[in-house]
Amino acid sequence: MIAKVIVDIPSKSVDFTFDYIIPSKLQSMVQVGMRVIVPFGPRTIQGYVMQITDKPDDNIDIAKLKEIKENNFEFVPIHITLGDEDYIDGISLNKNEFYETLESSGDFPKTSQPSPQAFLEIFKTAKENKDTLLCILLSSSLSGTCQSAQIAKTMADYDDIHIIDSLSASCMIKILADYACALAKENMPAGEIVARVEELKSRVTLFAGLDTLEYLCKGGRLSKSAAAIGELANIKPVITVTKEGTVGILGKCLGKNKAITQVFKHIQETEADSAFPLYTIYTHGTENCSLLEEKLRENGYEVSQRLQVGATIGAHIGPEAFGVVFVSK
């Protein structure tokens, strides 16, 4: 993905956008209007994302483009084992490569939490620089990531690290992280930011439709017999992330169109807070997501951006999944 960035230099000679590659690990975070840090000649400067596209203009050689450097974020990725291969989510395997491998492999991917050491390196740097860290992490009900971070905080022996169990997953965490960054730019004290994020996390909502029961079965959330019957009947489950941070099944629909209708019905029944973005989400394949977006726009909803779900969650819901993430009132 390419970001068209206008750099923060008061000169008419650079009063236009420059193309930068969005690294895989930042693709779910970077959005239009966001402040980013970019290399510019010999310097690293601030800029603002004006547009996001799939590829650069025809007259630009992508091999010569530089990457965005977003200094406000540090990422500690999940490890994924698929067959005999080990990958680091978003680094050694991008999202599309993961889903293509998933579909062609008969193996179910296994995910493992980051080690305390992975957090400790970041925490030590923060301590040396006397930085304040807010760690917004994958739900403790889905992963041991929070536990690893807590161990690392103890090892670092630094109080200005604030660990938040998001009780959410995937693109839900993006809403929390963006909100925390916005508050930090207002010079709000860390303790108050944490309190506000803790309040917001109970309102971040996800509804999604799955194209297949196969991955719920492989992940142990559904019996083989129930999955087999469901596949024969063309059953499409509709899921959510519960307030406890677990995956909950809201219903099972007969066919794709009914699943899309069911997801939309849940959105209508949960009043969205227009002060926050509404994102559509997908795993691999955008047809179902496009149909949901069409229904949303026909009914007056504004879709802020379409986001691709990463491998950590995608492993459990499979290709062609679709849905929406927003903040409820």
pLDDT tens digits, 243-275: 999 888 898 898 999 999 999 999 999 999 999
Whether residue 251 lies inside any domain: the answer is yes
Which parts of the chain sit beneath pLDDT 50?
none
Please tell me whether residues 227 and 323 are part of one structural domain.
yes
pLDDT at 115: 93
Task: Pinpoint the alpha helices (H) of the chain.
Answer: 95-104, 116-129, 145-156, 171-185, 190-201, 214-218, 224-232, 256-269, 287-298, 311-317
CA separation for the pair 268, 301 (Å, rounded): 10
Phi, psi of 148 (to 5 degrees): -60, -40
Please tell me whether residues 196 and 224 are part of one structural domain.
no
**Residue type present at position 75:** F
Please tell me whether residues 142 and 255 are part of one structural domain.
no
pLDDT at 247: 85
Residue whose C-alpha is closest to residue 91's, from 311, 317, 321, 315: 311
Whether residue 101 lies inside any domain: the answer is no
Please tell me whether residues 42 and 53 are part of one structural domain.
yes
Whether residue 83 lies inside any domain: the answer is no
Whether residue 272 lies inside any domain: the answer is yes
DSSP state of 306: E
Please tell me whether residues 155 and 213 are part of one structural domain.
no
Please tell me whether residues 162 and 221 are part of one structural domain.
no
pLDDT at 103: 82
pLDDT at 314: 86
pLDDT at 101: 84
pLDDT at 74: 74
Please tell me whether residues 255 and 299 are part of one structural domain.
yes
Residue whose C-alpha is closest to residue 313's, from 147, 111, 135: 111
CA separation for the pair 238, 240 (Å, rounded): 7
CA separation for the pair 58, 62 (Å, rounded): 9
Domains contained in the chain, number: 3
Phi, psi of 312 (to 5 degrees): -60, -45
What is the DSSP annotation of 147-197? HHHHHHHHHHT-SSEEEEE-S--THHHHHHHHHHHHHHHTT--HHHHHHHH
Please tell me whether residues 234 and 177 are part of one structural domain.
no
The b/e string for 209-238 (b: 16+ C-beta within 10 A; e otherwise) is: bbbbbbbbbbbebbeeeebeebeeeebbbb
Please tell me whether residues 141 and 227 are part of one structural domain.
no
The b/e string for 3-25 (b: 16+ C-beta within 10 A; e otherwise) is: bbbebeeeeeeeeebbbbebbbb
pLDDT at 296: 97
Residue whose C-alpha is closest to residue 176's, from 149, 136, 142, 140: 136
pLDDT at 320: 92
Whether residue 281 lies inside any domain: the answer is yes
- For residue 84, the Cα-to-chain-centroid distance in whole angstroms is 26
CA atoms within 13 A on the CB side of 278: 22
Q: Domain range for residue 269?
A: 204-327
129 by Cβ neighbours in 10 Å (0-12 / 13-18 / 19+) ranks as exposed
CB atoms within 10 A of CB 165: 20
**pTM of the predicted structure, to 2 decimals:** 0.78
